[in-house]
Amino acid sequence: MALFDKPLFTFEMANNHQGSVEHGKTIIRELKRVTKKYEDDFDSAVKFQYRDLDTFIHPDYRDRMDIKNVKRFQETRLSVGQFLELKREVEAQGMFTMCTAFDEKSVARIREEGYDCIKIASCSFTDWPLLEEIATTGLPVIASGAGSSLEDVDKVTAFFVHRKIAFALMHCVAEYPTPDEHLEMNQISLYKNRYPNLRIGFSTHESPEDMEPVKIAVAKGAEIFEKHVGVETDTVKLNGYSATPEQVDRWLAAARRVYRMCGTAGRRYESSEKEQADLAALQRGIFAKRDIAPGEQINRDDIFFAFPRQPGQLPANQMSKYASMTVKGSGIAVNQPVLSDEVEIQDDRECVLKQVAKVMSILKKSNVVVPTDSTCEISHHYGIHLFEKTGVAMIDCINREYCKKILVVLPGQAHPTHLHRKKEETFTVLYGALDVDCDGKKCHVTPGESLVVERGARHSFCSKTGCVFEEISTTHYEDDSYYDEEERFVNPRKTVVYLTSDMLGDMDTEI
What is the Cα–Cα distance from 136 to 235, expressed in whole angstroms?
Answer: 41
* Proportion of the chain above pLDDT 90, given as a percent: 82
Looking at residue 3, what is its pLDDT? Answer: 60
Torsion of CA 475, 479, 483, 485, to 10 degrees: 160
Residue 447 lies in a domain: yes
Helix (H) or strand (E) holding 418: strand 413-419
Report the 10 Å Cβ neighbour count for 66. 8
Residue 275 lies in a domain: no
SS3 of 323-339: EEEEECCCCECCCCECE
Contact of 177 with 241, CB cutoff 8 Å? yes
Number of domains in the chain: 3
Residue 281 lies in a domain: no
**Among 79, 67, 95, 61, which residue's Cα sits nearest to residue 17?**
79
- Are 58 and 200 in a shared domain? yes
What is the Cα–Cα distance from 318 to 325, expressed in whole angstroms?
Answer: 10
- Are 335 and 403 in a shared domain? no
Please, which pLDDT band fits residue 509 given cuts at 50, 70 and 90?
Answer: very low
Q: List Cβ neighbours of 164 (8 Å cut-off, separation of 6 or more).
A: none
Asked if the model's pLDDT at residue 502 lies above 70, the reply is no
- Are 336 and 244 in a shared domain? no
Is the bond leading into 308 cis (omega within 30 degrees of zero)? yes
- Are 339 and 230 in a shared domain? no
Contact of 249 with 11, CB cutoff 8 Å? no
| R_g of the chain computed on alpha carbons | 35
- Are 228 and 337 in a shared domain? no
- Are 325 and 252 in a shared domain? no
What b/e string do you get for 455-485 counting C-beta neighbours within 10 Å, with b at 16 or more?
A: eebbbebbbeebbbbbbbbbebeeeebebee
We report the CATH number of the domain holding residue 491 as 2.60.120.10
Half-sphere exposure of 110 (CA within 13 A, CB side): 32
Q: Is 312 helix (H, G, I), strand (E, B) or coil?
A: coil
Q: Is 358 helix (H, G, I), strand (E, B) or coil?
A: helix
Residue 485 lies in a domain: yes
pLDDT tens by residue, 157-182: 999 999 999 999 999 999 999 999 99
- Are 152 and 164 in a shared domain? yes
Report the 10 Å Cβ neighbour count for 170. 25
What is the DSSP code string of 274-303? Answer: HHHHHHHTT--EEEESS-B-TTPEE-GGGE
Q: Any idea what DSSP says for residue 310?
A: P
Please, which pLDDT band fits residue 507 given cuts at 50, 70 and 90?
Answer: very low
Contact of 98 with 78, CB cutoff 8 Å? no
What is the Cα–Cα distance from 13 to 402, expressed in whole angstroms?
Answer: 78
- Are 371 and 244 in a shared domain? no
Please, which pLDDT band fits residue 372 given cuts at 50, 70 and 90?
Answer: confident
Residue 306 lies in a domain: no
- Are 133 and 65 in a shared domain? yes
Residue 303 lies in a domain: no
Residue 271 lies in a domain: no
pLDDT tens by residue, 69-116: 888 898 888 999 999 999 999 999 999 999 999 999 999 999 999 999
Looking at residue 504, what is its pLDDT? Answer: 54
- Are 100 and 158 in a shared domain? yes
Report the predicted TM-score, pTM, of the whole model to 2 decimal places: 0.72
Residue 276 lies in a domain: no
- Are 383 and 403 in a shared domain? yes
Asked if the model's pLDDT at residue 213 lies above 60, the reply is yes
Looking at residue 384, what is its pLDDT? Answer: 87
- Are 328 and 429 in a shared domain? no
We report the CATH number of the domain holding residue 38 as 3.20.20.70
Looking at residue 510, what is its pLDDT? Answer: 44
pLDDT tens by residue, 249-294: 999 999 999 999 999 988 999 999 999 999 999 999 999 999 999 9
Domain extent at residue 140: 8-262
